[in-house]
Structure 1
């Protein structure tokens, strides 16, 4: 999916919602656990109930990997179930030396046909550029994440006072562009989203941390939105685990719709 197609979906649905499929076998509704493939059944219901409001889905690969070979089969089935006009993100956080990264890229882009994959930048150019060799595929580079440990490295300043995340943003501009590279920017960082936007004005951001982690959607839009929206705001737990009963899908739909309605208002305000 290219940038124009993604923006078209945002405009069509008045939404920049990404639903995170953090499908934890320990947290899904108990009545699903007797199913032959409970994670697939769970994700299928979530997708069918929320597809009207989502422009992206983000399976967290760890929850599927942890199930062994069947987990990989489930992941493939889930990805194939997602409507083709919805952007797909393999949240794998890969990043290794060049020949290994190339194989990771082939796995997610050629074999599984995801639109994008999250990549860690800290091994440098040769760990990232193999992912950029695929047409209409995207690297989503970790820049300023929302977890508590992000401060261990990402906010360390060099001798000029520049934080490390800003160096990542600047250096990576030599590797990709706004048509094949996005950045992970956590919602819990508030006004720092605006600082990131100054460095990379035209790129899309994948923004975790809204909802269960306490990030403000209004602040994300205020500081991060650009002329093509430039935001994919992820909600995982707040949507997919909205309830634990047999109506969990309808509860997920309700939570997704609430976010979409707020997003629609913000798009009207800033675009």
Structure 2
């Protein structure tokens, strides 16, 4: 998927919503547990309910790998279902991979050779050779962790450097030269929204994947104010706030309502930005 295709979908749907599929069998409705694959059954219902508003889905691999081979099967079935029924929607595997070159090459092949994702989240800690293999696939994206929304982000990401600036700024500045705005995007937590202004000075044209709106307290309005560019440039993720908004039999209807509410806010923000 190209950035132009992604932007066209954003304009058409009037939304830059990414729905996180962090599916925990302990939190899904009881009746689904009798299904052959409860996780897939839940995901299918959520996808069908939110596809009109979402431009991206982000399965968090930890929630699938925890269940071994069966969990990976649930992930693959979910991806195939989205590909078959909503092929215009982007899929980002939230896998947070990051290893030496030959290992990273295998990770890239695992996700991209079988078309299991359009992008994969990556830790840049080990440097360029952890990211390069993901940049060799046309139409695919390396999604680099830059400034995250967890409380411990300050342990490393917010460390001041002797030459000035923060470590996360160094990561963005250096890594942005490894690829382009057509195959790299960055993860910036919504709870760090005020930092987006400075980040946009470093990478004005890249897409930003922004988790942390909703359950983690991030502000959608602030994210748009500081992070939106002339092609939107944002994918704002909501997971728990949509998929677990209602744990009753009406969970899918409520998910659709919550996604529609976020999309309506996003439409207003796009219009305010002249998009």
* Structure 1 segment 237-256 matched on structure 2, within 5 A: 237-256=240-259
Partner of 2:48: 48
Alignment partners' CA distance in 1, 2:108 and 2:184: 14
Q: Does 1:230 align with 2:240?
A: no
Partner of 1:176: 179
Alignment partners' CA distance in 1, 2:97 and 2:116: 16
Partner of 1:97: 100
Give how far 1:112 is off.
Answer: 4.1
Partner of 1:71: 71
Gaps in structure 2 of 5+ consecutive residues: none
Question: What is the Cα-based RMSD across aligned positions, in Å?
Answer: 0.7
Alignment partners' CA distance in 2, 1:2 and 1:163: 30
Instruction: Give the 3-state SS of the residue equivalent to 1:191 in structure 2.
Output: helix
Gaps in structure 1 of 5+ consecutive residues: none
Partner of 2:26: 26
Alignment partners' CA distance in 1, 2:106 and 2:150: 28
TM-score (norm 1): 0.99
Partner of 1:61: 61
Give how far 1:194 is off.
Answer: 1.2
* Structure 1 segment 1-271 matched on structure 2, within 5 A: 1-82=1-82, 83-271=86-274
Contact 1:76-1:112 within 8 A present in 2 as well: no
Contact 2:76-2:116 within 8 A present in 1 as well: no
Q: Which segments of structure 1 move beyond 4 Å, counting only runs of 4 or more?
A: none
Contact 1:65-1:72 within 8 A present in 2 as well: yes
Alignment partners' CA distance in 2, 1:165 and 1:141: 11
